[in-house]
Amino acid sequence: MSAPSNAISIGLSAAIVAVEREQPSVLVVSHEGAEDALPFGPFDPVHHRTLELGLRKWVGEQTRFDLGYTEQLYTFGDLGRHRTSQGRDPGTRVVSVGYLALTRQVREAPNTQWRGWYHYFPWEDWRETKPAMIDDVIVPALRKFARAAASPDIAEQRRERINICFGEGWDEERVLERYELLYEAGLVEEFHRDGGAGRDNDAGNPRLGTAMMFDHRRILATAIARLRGKLKYRPVVFELMAPTFTLLELQRVVEALAGLRLHKQNFRRLVNEQGLVEGTGKFSTPARGRPAELFRFRREVLRERPAPGVRLGARRNRMT
């Protein structure tokens, strides 16, 4: 065991998000035998004037990508959560600053690929139905985790968290909260890899979703949560859209991100009345059905309304 060092390194990671064929996707770097990773690199205080500039440089080198919209998410510094399937923590302590970036391009560079984010969070996609794994696997395993608590007090707290995260009334924004609960309960691979076994959860647990390197899945969870929240009060979806689009295409992208179905008629009423889009007079040429008008984003709303966004309306599964 090496002596603890007091050196610090700052890791910059980006969850770069695009939506392709109704799948919200992240750009991951994959090497043979290793877990998927977000594009990342260390912050270099000599050459990087700001954290964000450092991030842009790293991402550019690793993925030949020119970041557009970016937003800082969170800074994680937890000891022991910066490992890989290969081995231990690096000698110096890594503090990890996560970013969210949005893009419409889906080019791939060597060693990078786009992957649907629901690979990593299969329980977060409620567009078709409530994912069966929640009732079949997650809730029972979490209940077991609650029962295994050291005291009745802690057990009760755990039950409360389970209820908030997976109980009645799905709050699509609690992505990070849910991931952290699953982590603590030993239901994701990272927990065991990080050396968490042997607390009050055994090794026979299911491992949900696809694991990622370091704390990258935690960063991705933060990214999804932030994006799902921001959607409702800032017009960020349009960063993910082509210059013109039909209202249904827009709706599908919002639904993909939120992991929910929306009421079609109300959705168009909303975006229209909020002045988020304007018609172009041109029309799509669909394989079937009536052609839809092509719309574009009205940049002016940023000036007009205080907090324009795509408020999520209903949450039905079948639309008429």
Partner DNA sequence: CAGATATATACTCGAACTGAGTATTATCCC
Partner DNA sequence: GGGATAATACTCAGTTCGAGTATATATCTG
Gap between the Cα atoms of 130 and 253, Å rounded: 19
Does position 265 bind a copy of itself by CB under 8 A? no
Rounded to an integer, what distance in angstroms lies between the CA atom of residue 44 and that of residue 78? 21
Cβ(310)–Cβ(232) below 8 Å: yes
Compare residues 97 and 310 and give the one whose CB is closer to DNA. Answer: 310
**Segments of 66-163 assigned E as strands:** 69-76, 93-102, 112-116
Cβ 241 to DNA, closest distance in Å? 14
- We find the least distance from the C-beta atom of residue 51 to a copy of itself, in angstroms, to be 4
Identify the residue among 287, 307, 318, 320 touching a copy of itself (CB under 8 A): 307
113 backbone φψ class: left, alpha, beta (φ>0; ψ -120 to 50): beta
Residue 202 engages a copy of itself in binding (rule: CB under 8 A): no
Q: Which does 313 bind (CB under 5 to 8 A by kind): a copy of itself, DNA, none?
A: DNA
97 binds, among a copy of itself, DNA, none (CB under 5 to 8 A by kind): a copy of itself
CB atoms within 10 A of CB 288: 4
Residue pair 198/186 in contact (Cβ under 8 Å)? The answer is no
Least distance CB 129 / DNA (angstroms): 16
- Residue 303 interacts with, from a copy of itself, DNA, none (CB under 5-8 Å by kind): a copy of itself
Nearest in space to 258 (alpha carbons), one of 169, 175, 168: 175
C-alpha distances out from residue 130 to 123, 124, 205, 212, Å: 8, 9, 22, 24
For DNA, the closer of residues 69 and 283 by Cβ is 283
For residue 103, the minimal CB distance to DNA (Å) is 24
Cβ atoms 42, 93 nearer than 8 A: no
Q: How far apart are CA 207 and CA 194, in angstroms?
A: 14
Which of 186, 270, 264 minimizes the C-alpha distance to 235?
270
Q: Does 301 bind a copy of itself (CB under 8 A)?
A: no
95 binds, among a copy of itself, DNA, none (CB under 5 to 8 A by kind): a copy of itself
Given the rule CB under 8 A, which of 23-31, 74-82, 107-115, 283-291 is the region that contacts a copy of itself?
Answer: 74-82
Does position 280 interact with DNA (CB under 7 A)? The reply is no
Q: For residue 103, which phi and psi values (nearest 5 degrees)? A: -155, 160
Which H helix or E strand runs over 248? helix 247-258
Q: What is the nearest approach in angstroms of DNA to the Cβ of residue 280?
A: 11
Q: Which does 288 bind (CB under 5 to 8 A by kind): a copy of itself, DNA, none?
A: DNA
SS3 261: coil
Among 91, 167, 195, 291, binds DNA (CB under 7 A): 291
What are 27's strand-pairing partners? 114
Site for a copy of itself in 154-183 (CB under 8 A): 160, 163-164, 169, 171
Site for a copy of itself in 94-123 (CB under 8 A): 95, 97
- Cβ–Cβ < 8 Å for 190, 212: yes
Phi, psi of 273, deg, nearest 5: -65, -30
Cβ closest to a copy of itself, residue 77 vs residue 206:
77
Q: Which does 246 bind (CB under 5 to 8 A by kind): a copy of itself, DNA, none?
A: DNA
4 forms part of the interface with a copy of itself (CB under 8 A): yes
The contact set with DNA (CB under 7 A) reads: 246-248, 263-266, 268-270, 273, 283, 285-293, 311, 313-316, 320
